[in-house]
Amino acid sequence: MQYSATQIAGLLNGTIEGNAEVTVSKLSKIEEGVPGSISFLSNPHYTQYLYGTQASVVIINRSFVLTAPVTTTLIRVESAENAFAQLLEMYNQVKLNKKGISKLSFISESATIGNDIYAGEFSFVGENATIGNNVKIYPQVYIGDNAVIGDNTTLFAGVKIYSETSIGKNCIIHSGTVIGSDGFRFTPENDNKKVAQIGNVVIEDDVEIGANCAIDRATLGSTILRKGVKFDNLIHIAHNVEVGENTYFAAHGVVAGSTRIGKNCMFSGQVGIIGHLNIADNTIITAQSGISKSITKKGEVYMGSPAFDAAKYRKAYIHFRNLDSLVQRVDKIEKLQKEIDLKEI
């Protein structure tokens, strides 16, 4: 779709300098601008590119003072960065605003389907599933029997939703993620027989899950992601885990079975948490940390593996880095002591 500088200025409450009728159809970085694109300038380090950019339209701050002529059309706004972020959101909404049910999709006759859904090629909706209004089901998505998908939720290509899973409103689940697969439970004392996993997964409203994540179903009851949880790519949540509201996980996080994680926690990349623990609200865990015991005090920062208080860890790490020189000093002292002992004999 094409938009004129006049239309964009109207959306952003901006003023135009230059050709008000010039049109754009894509977004670009200012240093990579091409004709037909729109960019922005907010960081002073990129000012030089304004005077040579090929972008047709550039958004700048009202207070910005030109020091040379420009060939691009300018739109002045209070905050160029905020205005461009607004454009990005609008562009994303237009791009993802898909509707219609493909003839190559399959929806069970017993399923309940809301209004204005999109179902792409080779998507599958099982028996007695419930799909809300404005749901986006991209190609090759599988939704199992009795699953529930809330209004305005988007399932990108290749997502697999096992039976009995419940997903709330306004959720986003990215490609390759599997929700509701069996928890990892066997009985070593009984010939390693598999323990049946008959629970489900419950995902509340406003949750976003990155690509290639795995959320296991509960043995009994539910594995639960509370409202507002945000996952990066490659997160594994085991059976019967509960993740509290507005908790964030960076990539490669792993949580073992039956652990309870509080609200508003922030976990950096490659954090591992063993099973049957409790993690207090507002906990922060730094990258590559291993949590082997419960964290009971709210707002603590943990680091290391096994992890402990981050401030104490940093102090201990100073000594660890000096360990080799300390060992050499001890060896030297012991050698001198042996020489003294021999002389006394």
pLDDT digits (tens, 9 = 90+) for 83-139: 999 999 888 888 888 889 999 999 999 999 999 999 999 999 999 999 999 999 999
- Strand duo 160-161 + 193-194: pairing: unpaired
Q: How far is CA 47 from CA 44, 66, 70, 313, in A?
A: 5, 10, 12, 43
- 230 has which bridge partners? 208, 248
Q: Are residues 86 and 190 in the same domain?
A: no
Is 319 a residue of the active site?
no
Work out the mean pLDDT of the chain and round it to a whole number: 94
State the Cα–Cα distance between residues 57 and 309, nearest whole angstrom.
50
- Residue where one domain finishes, among candidates 78, 95, 112: 95
pLDDT given at position 344: 74
Residue 38 belongs to domain with CATH number:
3.40.1390.10
pLDDT given at position 246: 98
State the Cα–Cα distance between residues 331 and 177, nearest whole angstrom.
55
Q: Comparing C-alpha atoms, which of 292, 282, 280, 281 is closest to residue 255?
A: 292
Residue 145 belongs to domain with CATH number:
2.160.10.10
Task: Give the strands of the sheet with 208-209, arranged side by side.
Answer: 100-101, 118-119, 136-137, 154-155, 172-173, 208-209, 230-231, 248-249, 266-267, 284-285, 301-304, 307-309
Kindly name the residue from 239, 252, 276, 319 that is annotated as catalytic: 239
Q: Cα 71–74–75 angle (5° rounding)?
A: 170
pLDDT digits (tens, 9 = 90+) for 224-276: 999 999 999 999 999 999 999 999 999 999 999 999 999 999 999 999 999 99
pLDDT given at position 345: 66
pLDDT digits (tens, 9 = 90+) for 182-229: 999 888 888 889 889 999 999 999 999 999 999 999 999 999 999 999
pLDDT given at position 215: 98
Q: Looking at the 3D structure of the chain, how many domains does it have?
A: 3
Q: Are residues 171 and 252 in the same domain?
A: yes
Q: Comparing C-alpha atoms, which of 122, 159, 129 is closest to residue 144?
A: 129
Largest CA distance in the chain: 102
Question: Could you tell me what percent of the chain has a pLDDT over 70?
Answer: 100
pLDDT digits (tens, 9 = 90+) for 281-330: 999 999 999 999 999 999 999 999 888 888 888 888 777 788 888 888 88
pLDDT given at position 130: 98
Domain, as residue range, for 328: 315-344
